[in-house]
Amino acid sequence: MEQLNLTRRQVVLGLLGVGALGAVGGALRWHPWDTLLDAAAQAGASSAGGNALVVITLAGGNDGLNTVVPYTDSAYLAVRQDMHFGPNEVLPLTDGLGLHPELTGLKALWDAGSLAIINGVGYPQPNRSHFRSMDIWQSGVPDRQEATGWLGRWLDAQSPSPMHAVSIGTQIPLLLTGSKRRPAAIPATGVAIPTMINEAYGELGAPDTTRGAWENVYRTAMRDLAAIQRDVHNVLPANVSKGGPGTTTTTTNTGVAAGRRAGNLRGQLDAVRAMLAAKIPTSVFHVMLGGFDTHATEKDTHANLMREFGDAVQTFLDQTYALGQPVTVVAYSEFGRRLALNASNGTDHGTAAPMFVAGNGVRSGLYGEYPSLTSLDDGDLKYTTDFRAVFGTLAARVLHVDPAQVLTGPQRDLGFLQ
Amino acid sequence: MDTASTDVAMLLRRTGFAPTAAERAVASSAGFIPTARARVAQARTTIDAADSLAPPTFAPFTPLDRSADEASRRQALAKRLATDRRENIALAHWWCNRMAQSTNSLREKATFIAHDHFATSVETVKSAKLMYDQNQLLRTYALGDFAELMRRLVSDAAMLVWLDGDSNVAQRPNENFAREFFELFTLGIGHYTETDVKEAARAFTGWSYTLRTQHVAFVARRHDNKTKTVLGKSGNFGSDDIVRIAMTDATARNVAAHWWSRLAYPVTIDDSVVNDVAARFAQRLDIGDLVEAILLHDAFRSDAARTGLLKTPLEYVIGTMRLFNLTAEKADALRTLESLGQLPFRPPSVGGWPGNEGWCSAAAALTRAQFAARVVRSADLRSLSGRSTNERVDALAELLGVVWSEGTAATLHAHAGDVSTLAALALVAPEYQVN
């Protein structure tokens, strides 16, 4: 095999040209936070011209059929007899489609003319593995394992600053992983080094050329932490103390997937709002809401998620609008779910599902064709819009880059942004 | 510390979790090579004081009563989910405590390295019992016959559920397992074709896992009984045949690179050290041989190795638990491991866990700092408070097995008055983050 096809594992294991000690700095640049804040301030507005993109990952596979509901379609009633929403329950949109009853937040955005819904989004030869499909969505590459995310590739083309993209939480998603650059990972609860060691912490992280390269990489992380705390601590919401909402972005996650929550979307978006309010020059944010893998007793779980999702997005956009900060939000999931219920009153992994884009510059309305409920692919919905076209439209309209620089495949501008 | 002692300390750290000062002293007297050989020999045995830690009990599978009303069904399901959650926590606690209390820690370390290699997650498997069974399988072959382990993993229940082996049937083959088998578990990318994957998938058909009985069986009518051609060889192959065919030099190098990268420093399969140790490994495909070859290779006692690895979250948390005599429950280990992204039994994907730079974000540094603060609140620090302030900094260096840089020593001395603060600072110091 001629082409070196790196797996994500090889990238994250640092097997990209990191051999000798001296090469560490070459493969992954580590720049002290301070230097970069200064550079960003000098460079003026962020590279995206002041418009921020917030990507919301709905993890687990959102049941699109009960999110954007074809409530007048008899096929819907037939297949979802035991878990459907009727005309009196849905929040009506248009064209026989309505929103899940708990999505009042999104309905408010729709009514205000700031919500675009793209129906039937997917990709060819859908993969129903969480990991594989999530990698596909985040990398933008359906047909092979790709080690970088489409926004990571965008990040690679930016100046070397961790400021351009921020992932709320302690983990950095593939979405924002470039071959050269990575985003900053900032917990939603803010950054509070334990009081007893706070004073001396930054000192401990001072660079020391007598020590090894990797130790110095860690020292840089410590200095970054101290600096981020200084800059961002006053900015992020004060729900830092034990037990507060969003104390950790992954609370008691040792449960099975069905009940699992990477919770508190509201807290994560609040952290984004606070950073925007403080004019931290970040162009791309990533947040995540988990728990969508509703294999069993879906109705209540999904309802709670819908409420959390819709309310959090509405609150966030109301607040950022009031701040005068232009923000565009996009939400996606790694797949939808099957039409028919399984034997546990839940649904198994499916294929196509709707995406939501809301906020600044949105041309409100429905886009794409709602997938047929009768002409199916192995019992699942056939996608009608390729996800790369949605991301491509965002790349072009929000980040002002040529989509072809970060994505391959369908590039058509779908028209949901001005 | 002289170089010889430093290397012995490194040897113990890499082949276990946080050696105590006493253990380091004994090993130093014995010398590097005898210690390396002895640890490998011991890891081939099954004796471990940690066996006294009772494994979790697992509730038998009880099917839901479909004829019951909605409310009862819902209640039964909620109960099962709660049970699952308890079992998952208990299982993770059990292994963390086992690793911290092991008197055969190379065997536990090797079990985790195997877990990282054949990364299987309870998130999909959804059964703590199956994860436990797989864990015991990995432990049995931790320093043993790699091919035999591979053969048994093909029909391991957790693996069957994880990579769809149980829905891979002759009529409709599922390639998930075959792909990861070639890409990650054995040959590595570039040494097989898509056709090999398809053909191997056919050979792997027939294994069936039944949830109700929690049993694995080979079902002949689900098995593709025709000729397959894999890696240039043809025959009516079954699972064992594919494993045998896959035991090539490329596999030896791929496996060798995986273990070298976790014991010494990160390498690619093209590195010359990989060739050296892979050759030894290939002789009888014995992981113990591979580990010993790595430990005794000149490049293991090099600056590249001495500075080449940061402590993974697991090593950081388990090591600290060990040195401060804390259980996983007391140290709130699972919350920290989850936050740092290395919860046992829950790898992020079949690709396993990342290397050094996966552990270096400012957010990860914050989580370690929070863990350190919790540890010093729960731990018994009397051995420190009993000493004079001047002695405390050195005592901590001795306890943690590190040598402070001038800068760190100065910072620590300035805070030696308060034992909790001092210990917490020591635990977040960069020197302690290095493996």
pLDDT 10s digits, B250-275: 999 999 999 999 999 999 999 999 99
Task: Check whether B111 has a pLDDT greater than 90.
Answer: yes
Q: A167: which strand partners?
A: A185, A286
B397 CB near a chain A CB, below 8 Å? no
**CA dist list (Å): B174 to A146, A246, B127, B242:** 21, 40, 22, 16
Q: Residue B407 and residue A203: Cβ atoms within 8 Å?
A: yes
Could you say which of B66, B126, B351 has the minimum Cβ distance to residue A8?
B351
**d(C-alpha A211, C-alpha A139), whole Å:** 36
Q: How far is B434 from chain A (nearest CA, A)?
A: 6
Please choose, from the candidates A412, A416, A395, A413, the residue with its C-alpha nearest in 3D space to the C-alpha of residue A284.
Answer: A395
**d(C-alpha B101, C-alpha B318), whole Å:** 9
Q: What is the pLDDT of residue A9?
A: 35
Q: Residue A12 and residue B420: Cβ atoms within 8 Å?
A: no
pTM, two decimal places: 0.79
Chain B hits for A14, CB-CB cut-off 8 Å, are 266, 355-357
Q: Pairing between strand A353-359 and A115-122?
A: antiparallel
**d(C-alpha A345, C-alpha B78), whole Å:** 12
B235 CB near a chain A CB, below 8 Å? no
Q: What is the pLDDT of residue A260?
A: 31
**d(C-alpha B179, C-alpha B201), whole Å:** 8
Query: How many residues appear in chain A?
Result: 418
Chain B hits for A171, CB-CB cut-off 8 Å, are 341
Q: Is A358 helix (H, G, I), strand (E, B) or coil?
A: strand
Residues 6 or more apart whose Cβ sits within 8 Å of residue A156? A148, A178, A179, A180, A181
B409 CB near a chain A CB, below 8 Å? no
Neighbours of A72 (CB within 10 A): 15
B102 CB near a chain A CB, below 8 Å? no
Could you say which of B88, B407, B424 has the minimum Cβ distance to residue A208?
B407
What chain B residue is nearest to A210 in terms of C-alpha separation? B405
**d(C-alpha B259, C-alpha B246), whole Å:** 18
Q: Residue A225 and residue B310: Cβ atoms within 8 Å?
A: no
Chain B hits for A250, CB-CB cut-off 8 Å, are 338-339
B361 CB near a chain A CB, below 8 Å? yes
Q: Pairing between strand B207-210 and B215-218?
A: antiparallel
Could you say which of A15, A131, A196 has the minimum Cβ distance to residue B350?
A131
Judged on CB neighbours under 10 Å (0-12, 13-18, 19+), A3 is exposed
Could you say which of A1, A182, A204 has the minimum Cβ distance to residue B429?
A204
Q: What is the pLDDT of residue B4?
A: 87
Chain A hits for B95, CB-CB cut-off 8 Å, are none
Please choose, from the candidates B130, B110, B109, B108, the residue with its C-alpha nearest in 3D space to the C-alpha of residue B120.
Answer: B130
Q: Residue A197 and residue B425: Cβ atoms within 8 Å?
A: yes
Neighbours of A42 (CB within 10 A): 7
Least confident of A104-108, A322-326, B45-49, B60-64: B60-64
Q: Residue B425 and residue A18: Cβ atoms within 8 Å?
A: no
**d(C-alpha B202, C-alpha B357), whole Å:** 38
Q: How far is A115 from chain B (nearest CA, A)?
A: 33
Contact between residue B131 and residue B345 where contact means Cβ atoms under 8 Å apart? yes
Please choose, from the candidates A280, A379, A362, the residue with its C-alpha nearest in 3D space to the C-alpha of residue A65.
Answer: A379
Mutation to test the B interface, candidates A3, A6, A9, most B Cβ within 10 Å = A9
Please choose, from the candidates B7, B372, B351, B379, the residue with its C-alpha nearest in 3D space to the C-alpha of residue B162.
Answer: B351
Q: Residue B362 and residue A185: Cβ atoms within 8 Å?
A: yes
Q: Residue B306 and residue A212: Cβ atoms within 8 Å?
A: yes
B67 CB near a chain A CB, below 8 Å? no
Q: Residue B370 and residue A214: Cβ atoms within 8 Å?
A: no
pLDDT tens digits along B159-180: 999 888 888 999 888 888 998 9
Q: Residue A184 and residue B408: Cβ atoms within 8 Å?
A: no
Q: What is the pLDDT of residue A20?
A: 18
Task: Check whether B34 has a pLDDT greater than 60.
Answer: yes
Chain A hits for B258, CB-CB cut-off 8 Å, are none
Q: Residue B303 and residue A225: Cβ atoms within 8 Å?
A: no
pLDDT-derived band at B357 (thresholds 50, 70, 90) equals: confident
Mean residue pLDDT of chain B comes to 94
B357 CB near a chain A CB, below 8 Å? yes
Contact between residue A400 and residue A48 where contact means Cβ atoms under 8 Å apart? yes
Mutation to test the B interface, candidates A196, A215, A250, A345, most B Cβ within 10 Å = A196
Neighbours of B280 (CB within 10 A): 18
DSSP secondary structure letters along A185-200? EE-TT-----HHHHHH
Q: A118: which strand partners?
A: A355, A367
Contact between residue B156 and residue B390 where contact means Cβ atoms under 8 Å apart? no
Chain A hits for B261, CB-CB cut-off 8 Å, are 13, 15
B172 CB near a chain A CB, below 8 Å? no
Q: Which amino acid is at B353?
A: W
Q: Residue B405 and residue A210: Cβ atoms within 8 Å?
A: yes
Q: Residue B339 and residue A248: Cβ atoms within 8 Å?
A: yes
Contact between residue B210 and residue B218 where contact means Cβ atoms under 8 Å apart? no
DSSP secondary structure letters along B209-265? EETTTTEEEE-GGGS--S-EEETTEEES--HHHHHHHH-SHHHHHHHHHHHHHHHT-
Q: How many CB pairs under 8 A join A and B?
A: 216
Q: Residue B357 and residue A191: Cβ atoms within 8 Å?
A: no
Q: What is the pLDDT of residue A38?
A: 54
Please give the DSSP secondary-structure letter assigned to residue B181: I
B234 CB near a chain A CB, below 8 Å? no
φ and ψ of A35, to 5 deg: -55, -40
Q: Residue A197 and residue B369: Cβ atoms within 8 Å?
A: yes
Q: What is the pLDDT of residue A162?
A: 60
- Among B residues 184-203, those touching chain A with beta carbons less than 8 Å apart: 184, 189-190, 193
Which token pair is B117?
């290699």
Contact between residue B202 and residue B234 where contact means Cβ atoms under 8 Å apart? no
pLDDT greater at residue A279 or residue B150 = B150
What's the first-to-final CA gap in chain B, in angstroms? Answer: 16
The residue ranges of chain A whose pLDDT is under 50 are 1-33, 36, 43-48, 239-262
What chain A residue is nearest to B413 in terms of C-alpha separation? A200
Q: What does the CA dihedral B411, B417, B423, B429 come to, rounded to 10 degrees?
A: 0
Q: What is the pLDDT of residue A231?
A: 67
Chain B hits for A204, CB-CB cut-off 8 Å, are 407-408, 411, 425, 428-430
Q: Residue A191 and residue B373: Cβ atoms within 8 Å?
A: no
Which token pair is A389?
């076209």
**d(C-alpha B101, C-alpha A160), whole Å:** 44
φ and ψ of A332, to 5 deg: -145, 165
Could you say which of B88, B349, B366 has the minimum Cβ distance to residue A193?
B366
Q: Pairing between strand A184-186 and A165-168?
A: parallel
Neighbours of B185 (CB within 10 A): 26
Could you say which of A5, A171, A213 has the minimum Cβ distance to residue B189?
A5
Q: Which amino acid is at A328?
A: T
Q: Residue A344 and residue B77: Cβ atoms within 8 Å?
A: yes
Chain A hits for B308, CB-CB cut-off 8 Å, are 212, 214
Contact between residue A102 and residue A391 where contact means Cβ atoms under 8 Å apart? no
